[in-house]
Amino acid sequence: MFEDLRFPVIAAPMAGGPTTPELVAAVTAAGGFGFLAGGYLSADALADRIAKTAELTGEPFGVNLFVPGGAAETDLGGHIGRWRAEAERHGVEPGEPRWDDDAYTAKLEVVLERKVPVVSFTFGVPSPEDVGRLHANGSEVAVTVTNPAEAERAIAVGADALVVQGFEAGAHRGLFADEPEAEGGGPQYGVLSLLRLVSARTDLPLVATGGLVHGADIAAVLAAGAVAAQLGTAFLRADEAGTQPAHRQALANGGRPTAFTRAFSGRPARSLVNRAVADFSATAPSAYPEVNNLTKPIRAAAGKAGDAEIMSLYAGQTYELAGSGPAASIVERLQAEAREAATRLSRLR
């Protein structure tokens, strides 16, 4: 699938708003490939977005789903207290910190029914049975991996492609399990090193992601063996993205470092450092999706109010170099940069 793209750039599935059918369609029209983000949506909402995207483009696109994990066994009391104060400030009630499976089974039925060409999975692997159903249905299966051990598990269930996510990536790390004691939730690999380690283990097509924001980065990971580059942050400020205005503004302002935090969702995610990250990260529990459900209405209210200090400002390590404008013009620029970068390798011949 990805080997045949006119330009091997993939718009990453960005759950929670940034990814829209319009963004997927625009990147596809420009010669790339787009993924809808199934995470956090109801099955009906996902079906609607798939239908909308299909209306906007006749080309294939993908859907990403979050694989559910187990319920947290952590005391959330202290973290709830911190967020309650922010909820009061914004005049809303905190969400109920409950576990859920993100309607995984129902959404899997939706992508089967709609015969989505590529279904990617994050936070774990689908069961071999579900992989079999997708294959029988004509869908390809991609799995996000953050370390070589996860790659081996994805290969074992029959994945057709791996999305190799370096620690540079914005938003959630795809970690199958969050180790509460580990900074970042588990082993941290740079995208280039991880690509190398995974390509030594498999001949499956590898999609590289994490900190890629310039056409030269795309050329780099293709040279390193990837079939395509997946970019999220590079499209966060695209006209077609659903990114909130205060989030866009914080990205455009620059100047903030990024860091991993469990503060917003209970799972390590790379965010610009704001007050919530600075003050809550050290004590934030490993408890996903409980914490995500807790903070959801507060983050939504903060987003509406333009309170950049308390909303999640997810972004990759190189966010300051990402541009804005129509997605087509972003892809066009990436393509020109990638071509120029490729010419630098003439010295190797």
CA angle in degrees (0–180, nearest 5) for 315-319-322: 125
What character string, x for contact with its own copies (CB under 8 A) and - otherwise, covers 319-338? -xx-------------x--x
Q: Compute the distance between CA of residue 273 and CA of residue 173 in angstroms, rounded to an integer.
A: 16
Query: Taking the complex as a whole, how short is the minimal distance between the CB of residue 208 and its own copies, in angstroms?
Result: 9
For its own copies, the binding residues in 143-172 under the rule CB under 8 A are 166-168
Query: Taking the complex as a whole, how short is the minimal distance between the CB of residue 210 and its own copies, in angstroms?
Result: 7
Angle, nearest 10°, between helix axes 290-305 and 77-89? 20
Listing DSSP states for 57-106 in one string gives -SS--EEEEEPP-PPP-S--HHHHHHHHHHHHHTT-PPPP-----TTHHH
Query: Taking the complex as a whole, how short is the minimal distance between the CB of residue 176 and its own copies, in angstroms?
Result: 16
- Which of 98, 115, 135, 339 binds its own copies (CB under 8 A)? It is 339
Q: Which is nearer to its own copies, 158 or 225 (CB)?
A: 225
Q: Which is nearer to its own copies, 2 or 121 (CB)?
A: 2
- Which of 29, 45, 76, 197 binds its own copies (CB under 8 A)? It is 197
CA angle in degrees (0–180, nearest 5) for 150-15-223: 50
Tokens representing residue 253 in the block: 């302002």
Nearest to 312 by CA among 322, 326, 297: 297
For its own copies, the binding residues in 200-229 under the rule CB under 8 A are 200, 210-214, 216-217, 219-225
Strands annotated E in the chain: 9-11, 33-37, 62-66, 118-122, 140-145, 161-165, 171-172, 206-209, 228-231, 258-261, 269-272
Tokens representing residue 151 in the block: 């790659």
Query: Taking the complex as a whole, how short is the minimal distance between the CB of residue 80 and its own copies, in angstroms?
Result: 26
Task: Give the range of 117-125, 171-179, 190-198, 286-294 binding its own copies by CB under 8 A.
Answer: 190-198
Classify residue 77 as exposed, middle or buried by CB count within 10 Å of its CB (0-12, 13-18, 19+).
exposed
Q: Compute the distance between CA of residue 106 and CA of residue 73 in angstroms, rounded to an integer.
A: 26
Query: Taking the complex as a whole, how short is the minimal distance between the CB of residue 217 and its own copies, in angstroms?
Result: 6
Task: Give the range of 39-47, 64-72, 77-85, 195-203 binding its own copies by CB under 8 A.
Answer: 195-203
Query: Taking the complex as a whole, how short is the minimal distance between the CB of residue 101 and its own copies, in angstroms?
Result: 31
Q: Which is nearer to its own copies, 36 or 315 (CB)?
A: 315
Query: Taking the complex as a whole, how short is the minimal distance between the CB of residue 342 and its own copies, in angstroms?
Result: 4
Q: Compute the distance between CA of residue 170 and CA of residue 178 in angstroms, rounded to an integer.
A: 16
Q: Which is nearer to its own copies, 300 or 342 (CB)?
A: 342
Q: Is 185 in the site for its own copies (CB under 8 A)?
A: no
Q: Compute the distance between CA of residue 111 and CA of residue 118 in angstroms, rounded to an integer.
A: 9
Binding site residues, its own copies, CB under 8 A: 7-8, 166-168, 183, 187-193, 196-197, 200, 210-214, 216-217, 219-225, 257, 316-318, 320-321, 335, 338-339, 341-342, 344-345, 347-349
